[in-house]
Amino acid sequence: MRTDDVGGLVLAAARGDAASWRALVERFSGLVWSVARGHGLANADAEEVYQTTWLRFAEHVGRLKEPERAGAWLATTARHECFRISRARTRVDLTDDLDGLAPQVDEHSPEAAVVASEETADELELLRGLWESFHELPTRCLRLLRALLASPPPSYAEIAAAFEMPVGSIGPTRARCLGRLRDLLAERGIHGEAGHRRV
């Protein structure tokens, strides 16, 4: 069976075909994960969304009215799971243990050696500037760009389902978000496709 025949894969998976399940998971894992991370969840919460979404899919796979739209179903389910977890996490635990909140740094770790290296200092500065700029984007841009970077890339129909936006507005919104990211990078002095810093 062709791996791009989503409807056929769903029907085969509903009959218990393991190869079809693997193909579906491979096809849509990036989409489900990007929806979870796009909602700003911590890794553990994003993993919970990922697992719960696939569990819900397994429970409903034989009852999907439009099996060819499985990606949109998964994206919507992942979004709903994100909202559920976000609501559950709104409780705040107070602490007076400020030492426990400080990040623990092992000065002799391989990571510390890399950070301390002069060789990588410029590259780290560029990466830091890139990620700081990326995280300054509006939430809508963060979510959309993360989803579009999933591997394999989701279809616009799947993106539309995940973020409740018309398919026709995805391209222009993406262009505006990337333009804003370029502006933020330029404000930090980062220019060009390779991200080289002008001195």
Domain match, 21 and 76 both: yes
In a domain, 115, yes or no: no
138 Cβ contact list (under 8 Å, min separation 6): 177, 180
Q: What is the mean pLDDT of residues 58-74?
A: 91
- Structural domain ending residue among the three candidates 46, 71, 88: 88
The rounded mean pLDDT for the chain is 78
pLDDT value of residue 147: 83
CB 188 within 8 A of CB 133: yes
pTM (2 d.p.): 0.56
CB 142 within 8 A of CB 135: yes
In a domain, 21, yes or no: yes
Grade residue 22 by pLDDT with cuts at 50, 70 and 90.
Answer: very high
Structure confidence by residue, pLDDT tens digits, 24-45: 999 999 889 888 888 778 888 8
Q: Which domain holds residue 77?
A: 6-88
pLDDT value of residue 146: 83
The number of folded domains in the chain is 2
Give percent of the chain with pLDDT exceeding 70.
76
